[in-house]
Amino acid sequence: MNIIPLTKIQDIIDRTAIETLVQSQESGFISYSQGKSVVPPVGHLQFSNPPGECHIKYGHIITDDLFVIKVATGFYHNLVAGLSNGDGLILVFSAKTGLLKTILLDEGYLTNIRTALAGLIAAKYLAPKKIYGIGIFGTGCQAKLQLKYLQAGLKNFNCQNIWIWGRSKDKLQTYRQDIEPLGLDVQLTTNIEDITENCNLLITTTASKQPILTAALIQPGTHITAIGADSPGKQELDPQIVKQADICVVDSISQCFEYGDISYSVKEQLIDKSKVVELGNIISNPMLRRNNDQQITIADLTGVAVQDIKIATLINEIVEEKTLVKS
Amino acid sequence: MNIIPLTKIQDIIDRTAIETLVQSQESGFISYSQGKSVVPPVGHLQFSNPPGECHIKYGHIITDDLFVIKVATGFYHNLVAGLSNGDGLILVFSAKTGLLKTILLDEGYLTNIRTALAGLIAAKYLAPKKIYGIGIFGTGCQAKLQLKYLQAGLKNFNCQNIWIWGRSKDKLQTYRQDIEPLGLDVQLTTNIEDITENCNLLITTTASKQPILTAALIQPGTHITAIGADSPGKQELDPQIVKQADICVVDSISQCFEYGDISYSVKEQLIDKSKVVELGNIISNPMLRRNNDQQITIADLTGVAVQDIKIATLINEIVEEKTLVKS
């Protein structure tokens, strides 16, 4: 049985080709959308003093020999005490013997990576052919990772015109410093129009509880990947944007009708549910994708357990291969 | 963060006073019956080829600073391949910060121990004052542990008249060999009446799916602890036994109305639900216990997450104390 600490996991991710990571995640989305995965309801524990939560996501892909359990905690008062605001680990078991194979002590890192990979995959299949500008809303960890993974994996990535929006000038400056290793020149703004006028690939990564983007601002041909609204109560897009979009993509239809940006449009009956397509189907069926550069497309990503399953089983595979080589 | 392997866990259990283990478990049963614990529904994954299952039990006691997640798998075809028929581990987190404190790689061992402790606790509060004979049904791991823990912790334990019932003479012989370290002289039988005639403390630990014990066999004054029927479909006691019992005790009323031996009597409306009492209340309220040595009493134990929570947090506490001493 392998116990893999965070530094080792980071090292494995850094050494793994982006194509390998993307392909593994894509196969997970396809399995999910083809009903080839078993993903029971998420387990929850809620704490009040101090406020905190624990989520248990688990499941397996029917054709895989492994199953996965991910535990993640969030205790936002920790930051005051100088602690990380959450923790987490992933357990990988054999689906043939039930024996524990690997414990990934990732502290939530792999959730960040698989979320960034989902953003890259959405852009790969939905962004217009010519990307004249990339705009990122938010200055947190995911805002940086989305840019890093787009640069690493998006063939039509345009590094000439990258805009970052945030409410705080300090945080924008910190963002610029933090992404220095990427060698990218980014423009910082607190003005939303700077982004909507200069960019046709937008990624929203904020913790907002009300719309940041309104329909009137969105130019024809824009693709928006909405990452931030990953639990009930969060919202980044005006429901009218969803209404006017030509293609509405979600990671999970059932989940995105419950929460996430598209849920508001569904609940207000602004859009026909049948218009919504899963990312797994976009990946496997080119007919469902954008067919011209004037269409507005949206990908609303709330996070599904198959992403965790695939990244954990990939790491497990790499670890086991190395173990084999060693012995 | 501590990672504790099985051998270390076994060592800690062996070195911990039985009174400490019992007291910790009793406080768990009391918290549960007083509504001071949060125990969400068990998470399940089912596998078909080969058949197997995974259970995730989790929760916390409201007044505790820790919460616990237990994962257990069962793959019964493993035995053919010479592998253990299951695996398991317990995660202990801080309920104040969400940080992972301890991983107990117990491989299911602590579940066996807490189940044996529950049997001891049931006997402590429900067995007649004078135990003239102890009868155990079954020859598996739990049949041995129940005897071991009764010997270790039951004040009125009677080592003069111990009977073991099994269907297989070979397994009965193996049982005798395996418990040699206990230094007890046991009588082996394939005849149920040998036990019901000679014993007034009975413990059933089989995987039976139909009643082993019938009502006509049970002598006045007998206490029965039913351990085996811990999931839907399993049954060890004739529902008429439950009907004629003076006191019916369960670990969890809600769970034991769903499955376990008492559930059959409830579903057949043989007994009034209000007659059923939780073990936590038996421990905290002496008025609810046996008041003479002619009463028939039953304890139906299906296993509740507070038992896992308490044994895991106790081990965590012992580990952390040792860590403090070291540093």
CA-CA distance, B40 to B38, in Å (whole number)? 6
Listed in sequence order, the residues at least 6 apart from A178 whose beta carbon sits closer than 8 Å to its beta carbon are A144
Rounded distance between C-alpha atoms, residue B194 and residue B190, angstroms: 8
B99: closest CA of chain A, how far (Å): 5
Beta bridge partners of A136: A164, A203
Q: What is the pLDDT of residue A159?
A: 80
Q: Which of A54, A85, A89, A309 is the best residue to mutate to test the B interface, defined by the most B CB atoms within 10 Å of its own CB?
A: A54
- Where would I find the beta strands (DSSP E) of chain A? 2-5, 37-38, 43-48, 51-61, 66-74, 86-94, 100-105, 134-137, 162-165, 186-189, 201-204, 223-226, 247-250, 276-278, 297-300
Task: Please tell me the distance from the alpha carbon of residue B16 to that of residue B7, in angstroms, as a whole number.
Answer: 14
| pLDDT tens profile B204-223 | 999 999 999 999 999 999 99
Instruction: Report whether pLDDT(A221) > 90.
Output: yes
Using CA coordinates, name the residue in chain B closest to A47: B95
Distances (CA, A) of B252 to B28, B259, B275, B279, B298: 12, 11, 13, 8, 14
Closest CA to A102 of A306, A303, A305, A311: A311
Nearest chain B residue to A66, by CA? B47
Identify which of B56, B59, B87 has the shortest CB distance to residue A58.
B56
Q: Inter-chain contact B98–A54, Cβ cutoff 8 Å? A: yes
Rounded (5°) CA angle A188-A194-A199: 95
Closest to B249 in 3D by CA, of B229, B227, B279, B271? B279
Report whether pLDDT(A275) > 60.
yes
Chain A residues whose C-beta is within 8 A of a chain B C-beta are: 1, 3, 38, 40, 43-45, 47, 50, 52-54, 56, 58-60, 67, 69, 71, 73-75, 78, 81, 83-84, 86-89, 91, 93, 95-100, 103, 105
Enumerate residue ranges in chain B where pLDDT < 50. 327
Give residue-wise pLDDT tens across range A70-107. Answer: 999 999 899 888 998 889 999 999 999 999 999 999 99
Structural contact between residues A73 and B93, judged by C-beta atoms closer than 8 angstroms: yes
Quick one: pLDDT band at residue A327, thresholds 50, 70, 90? very low
Of A302, A306, A146, A164, nearest to A233 by C-alpha is: A302
Provide the β-strand partners of residue B102.
B2, B92
Residue B199: exposure state from Cβ atoms within 10 A (0-12, 13-18, ≥19): buried
Rg (CA), chain A: 19
Contact A164, A188 (CB under 8 A): yes
pLDDT score of B324: 62
Q: Scan for tokens 């040792």, then name that residue.
A: B322
Cβ-based neighbours of A71, under 8 Å, separated by 6 or more: A54, A55, A56, A88, A89, A90, A91, B69, B91
Rounded to 10°, the helix A305-326/A18-33 angle is 130
- Write down the pLDDT at residue B232: 87
In this complex, the residue of B69, B75, B96 whose CB is nearest that of residue A71 is B69
Query: What pairs with residue B56 in β-bridges?
Result: B43, B71
Specify the pLDDT at position A323. 67
Q: Which amino acid is residue A92, in one-letter code?
A: V
B258 vs B272: CA distance, rounded Å: 15
Confidence class for position A222, pLDDT limits 50, 70, 90: very high
For residue A254, the 8-state DSSP code is: H
pLDDT digits over B294-306, tens only? 999 999 999 999 9
Percent of chain A with pLDDT over 70: 98
pLDDT of A326 over the 80 cut: no
H and E: helices and strands count for chain B: 11, 15
Across the range A272-295, mean pLDDT stands at 95
Q: How many CA atoms lie within 13 A of B80 on its CB side?
A: 7
Question: Out of B47, B56, B83, whose CB is closest to A43?
Answer: B56
- What pTM did the predictor assign? 0.92
The burial class, CB within 10 Å (0-12 / 13-18 / 19+), for B270 is: middle
Q: Which residues contact B181 (CB under 8 A, 6 or more apart)?
A: none
- Please tell me the predicted confidence (pLDDT) of residue B272: 87
Q: How far is CA B59 from CA A235, B33, B63, B64, B100, in A?
A: 30, 14, 12, 11, 14
